[in-house]
Each structure stands twice: as structure tokens, then as C-alpha cells.
Amino acid sequence: MKTRYPHNQPIAAAMHLWPLTTVIDERGRLIIGGCDAATLAHGYGTPLYIFDEATIRAACRTYRAALASCYRGETTVHYASKALLNTAIARLIADEELGLDVVSGGELYVALRAGFPPQRIHLHGNAKTRDELEQALAAGIGQIVIDNLDELEMLVNLTAHRPYPQAVALRIAPDIATDTHAHIQTGHAASKFGLPLAALDAAATRLRETSSLTLTGIHAHLGSQLFDLKPYAAAIDVLLDSAARLRDYHELTIEEINIGGGVGVPYTADQRPMDIHAYAALIADTLTYGCLQRGFPLLRLVIEPGRSIVARAGVALYTIVATKPLPHTRLLHIDGGMGDNIRPALYDAHYTVVLAERVDAAVEEVVGITGRYCESGDVLIRAAHLPRARVGDILAVPVAGAYTLSMAGTYNLVPRPAVVMVKDGAARLIQRRETYDDLVARDV
């Protein structure tokens, strides 16, 4: 965030949380992508999610450039669309020449409908249904990442009479612990995701017998919101050992190593952003050395960032609807909450907030920001530092782009927010607000 008020410590110290184009104008108003946030909130209504196109594009380019400069082999960046997916995002990701990971028939449908090239799509998931696998096969997607032996068996049956083989990868559970919230750890042995290492031989034997599936890669995803790089290096070693086992015992040769996503992003001023170049250098060096050690050519390096592509680009805007004085604090009730952002309730996630029309005003109180949903746990921020806020003020919450809208629901039958994309002073609606008619559209 560029600010003309460097004396304002809380804002100056949090510049890295805001979209790259953020400016505070001379009246203290929040400007993103050249657009006045509060004006957008008044025009489109709240809750409103704003996405800064430049920030998403920059994140895509940073990853691609970092991998390309650090690794001499081929590299591919796949955006994990579970972080946020709609038609505009799918098109933007396609335009930036990333691949796309989907984990459901719904995500696949949105991507294909948006015109995303099927060959650049990978399908993930620990419980893919038969319908979803058929949908993926019919679409001709680039890769199905097999999670378990039952899925493999189903794929063997579904592809038996196909004229050409389907490319698949094996997701393994590498048994690597990570320092993140238990709900977003996925690499340990007891995780619900991925083949246990002990099942690798069984999968390999079945793949060897099956000409309708071609094993192209091996995959692991350790978890999300990771700041420590060491587990990535450990995962690459486990993946390469597995690849060597596939080669030496089963004559299966793979082309790519996929280390998943998980790069953490700062949500509060005290957290620092990850150095993407350092991350790329570490995984590239580990893979280069590991390939050499085991007699592999330089295997293609694939990564799947989700959060770190879209989190910072998104800002959530809410209106203060009511307040509640308590003995030592106040609660500010807003018109959104866990319906559009479940992360605080689900993961105890922390956020910061500013007043969109008085960003640079001095902090006067510490308040709770409470959502509108009928759950006591619907607290967006427990201790927000703000100037004295009033009913009708617009609150802006940064780093709201990932795992918010994609996890949004209609609890209490509150329609989901509108979404706008901002760029060069222009805003365009990319997803309209849900309507009451939408809420009954499925009722018969």
C-alpha cells in the first residue's frame, strides 16, 4: 500500500497486506486499482469483494519467472482453483498461461465453460465420484491425480475401452508433518489425502497391467499456509524415492514431480510475505540434486499455488449495521461474516481491518467485528484497532481473496456477495450478488 501518511504506523506497517495498486488518497480514502473502495461499496452494495487484477497477474508472473529462472528443467505452475474460481478468474489464469487444478465436477464445469483449455486442467480429490471421473475423461483433461486404490480401480474400468490412454499422476501421503493448523495439514501419514507409501507398489502393479492409463507424474501436497521451506525439500526427496521405486521395481518412468501448493501469505501486519524466489530456488536445487543422485533426467517441476495467487488481491467490504457496547469494548455488527468468510470460525484465522473512508485516522478503540449470522462463533475479528466507527461506515478487510468466496454459503439464507474486478480506475462486476430468486431456484 502506498500511503501519503507514513506517520500512520498501523497502515504503514501493513502495506504488504493490501493489493499492489492500493493508495490512500489525500482525504484518507482507500483506493484500489484506481477505484474508490467506499464508492464501490455504495454503488454495488455490501458485502462486496473487490479483486485487483494487477495483483493476481503479478502473483502468477512471479511464480512463473521464479521457477523458470531457478530450474533448468521444464516447469509448470497450476493455480489451485479451490482458493477462488469463477468465470473471470478462470479466464485470467488461462491468459497468464498457468494450468488449473480442479477438485470437483463443479470446478471443472466452470473452468471448461470459461474456455479454459482442458489439456491444462488437472483433477484432484480424495472422493471423486464416477460421474466426475467420466466428466473429466469426456472433457479430455490433461491429468487425473489418483488419490487412492479404489479410484484407480474405477478409472481402470472407465477407461477400458477408450482408444487413447488418460494421463494420470499418483498422489502420495509423504508422511511429513508441517507447522500449520491441523485442519490444513495434508502430508502426514494419517491424512485422508493420498496413497500411503505402503500402497505404492499395489498402485504401480495395477498401472503396469493397464494400457488405458499412462502414469506421468507423482504428487504430494503438504498442507496450506506454510512458511517453513524445509518440508518441501523433504517432500521432494520422498517423491523422488517413490519415483525411483516405480522405475526400479515396476519399470514405470515418470516425467514430472508435483509438490502441490501451500505457500503461506501474511494476514496480519506482524507476518512477513514468503520470498517466492527463495522458495523456487530451494525446490529447484533439491530437485536438481535429487534427480542427479538417482539417475533421473531433470523431471518437470510442477507446483500448485492457490492462496498465494489470489489472497492479497481480494479486499472484502462490509457496512457496519449496528453496534453493541460492552463493559470494556464495543462490538461492531456487520452485514457479512461467516457466510462469506468462514475462516475465522473454521481455523481461528486472524484478519485486520480499516475504515475505507478514514484509513489514516488515528486508532481510538479496540473493538470486536461481529458477523450477522446466528452463531456466536461468527466473529470476523476479535480485536480490531480502529478510529471511532459509526453505523453506516464501510469496513475494508484485506487478504480476503482466498478460501472466502469459494467456501461461502447461504446460511440463514443470506445471499452471497457481489464480486468486482478493478483495474486502471475501472471496476467491472464479475459475479453479481445472489438474489432471493437464486435462493429458491432449486426448490420444487
How many residues make contact with ligand PLP (CB under 6 A)?
Answer: 16
What Rg do the C-alpha atoms of the chain give, in angstroms? Answer: 23
Distance of closest approach, residue 27 Cβ to ligand PLP, in angstroms: 36
Site mask for ligand PLP (CB under 6 A), range 251-270, x = bound: ---------xxxx-------
Residue 154: its H or E element: helix 149-159
**Beta strands at 166-173 and 213-219: parallel, antiparallel or unpaired:** parallel
Give the angle 415-419-420 at the CA atoms, nearest 5°: 150
| Residue 122 found at the interface with ligand PLP (CB under 6 A) | no
Q: Closer to ligand PLP at the Cβ: 46 or 180? A: 180
Nearest alpha-carbon partner for 84 in 386, 444, 354, 399: 399
- Stretch near ligand PLP under the rule CB under 6 A, chosen from 67-75, 305-313, 316-324, 424-432: 305-313
- Stretch near ligand PLP under the rule CB under 6 A, chosen from 51-59, 267-275, 294-302, 303-311: 303-311
Annotated active-site residue 70? The verdict is no
Secondary-structure breakdown of the chain: helix, strand, coil percentages, each rounded to the nearest 5: 35, 25, 40
Distance of closest approach, residue 87 Cβ to ligand PLP, in angstroms: 20
| Residue 335 found at the interface with ligand PLP (CB under 6 A) | no
Alpha carbon distance 244, 437 (integer Å): 56
- Stretch near ligand PLP under the rule CB under 6 A, chosen from 54-62, 79-87, 159-167, 248-256: 79-87
* Cβ-proximal residues to 149 (8 Å cutoff; 6+ apart), any chain: 195, 199, 202, 203, 206
Q: Which of 86, 143, 185, 224 binds ligand PLP (CB under 6 A)?
A: 224
Alpha carbon distance 260, 258 (integer Å): 6
Nearest alpha-carbon partner for 145 in 215, 209, 75: 215
Alpha carbon distance 48, 395 (integer Å): 10
Site mask for ligand PLP (CB under 6 A), range 359-398, x = bound: ----------------------------------------
Distance of closest approach, residue 439 Cβ to ligand PLP, in angstroms: 28
Q: Closer to ligand PLP at the Cβ: 40 or 80? A: 80
Alpha carbon distance 60, 287 (integer Å): 22
Distance of closest approach, residue 18 Cβ to ligand PLP, in angstroms: 19
| Residue 304 found at the interface with ligand PLP (CB under 6 A) | yes
Set of cell numbers at residue 142: 490433461
- Stretch near ligand PLP under the rule CB under 6 A, chosen from 55-63, 89-97, 274-282, 299-307: 299-307
Do 216 and 143 form a contact (C-beta atoms < 8 A)? yes
- Stretch near ligand PLP under the rule CB under 6 A, chosen from 1-9, 127-135, 278-286, 300-308: 300-308
Q: Closer to ligand PLP at the Cβ: 31 or 59? A: 59
Q: Which of 306, 314, 344, 398 binds ligand PLP (CB under 6 A)?
A: 306
Edge-to-edge strands, sheet with 35-36:
2-3, 23-24, 30-32, 35-36
| Residue 221 found at the interface with ligand PLP (CB under 6 A) | yes
| Residue 343 found at the interface with ligand PLP (CB under 6 A) | no
| Residue 107 found at the interface with ligand PLP (CB under 6 A) | no
Is the bond into 47 cis (omega within 30 degrees of 0)? yes
Distance of closest approach, residue 161 Cβ to ligand PLP, in angstroms: 30
What is the residue whose three cell numbers read 498461461?
97
Alpha carbon distance 365, 329 (integer Å): 8
| Residue 80 found at the interface with ligand PLP (CB under 6 A) | yes
The gap between the terminal CA atoms of the chain, to the nearest Å, is: 49
Do 319 and 313 form a contact (C-beta atoms < 8 A)? no
| Residue 96 found at the interface with ligand PLP (CB under 6 A) | no
Instruction: Show which residues are catalytic.
Output: 374
Binding residues for ligand PLP, rule: CB under 6 A, are 80, 82-83, 101, 124, 221, 224, 260-263, 304-308
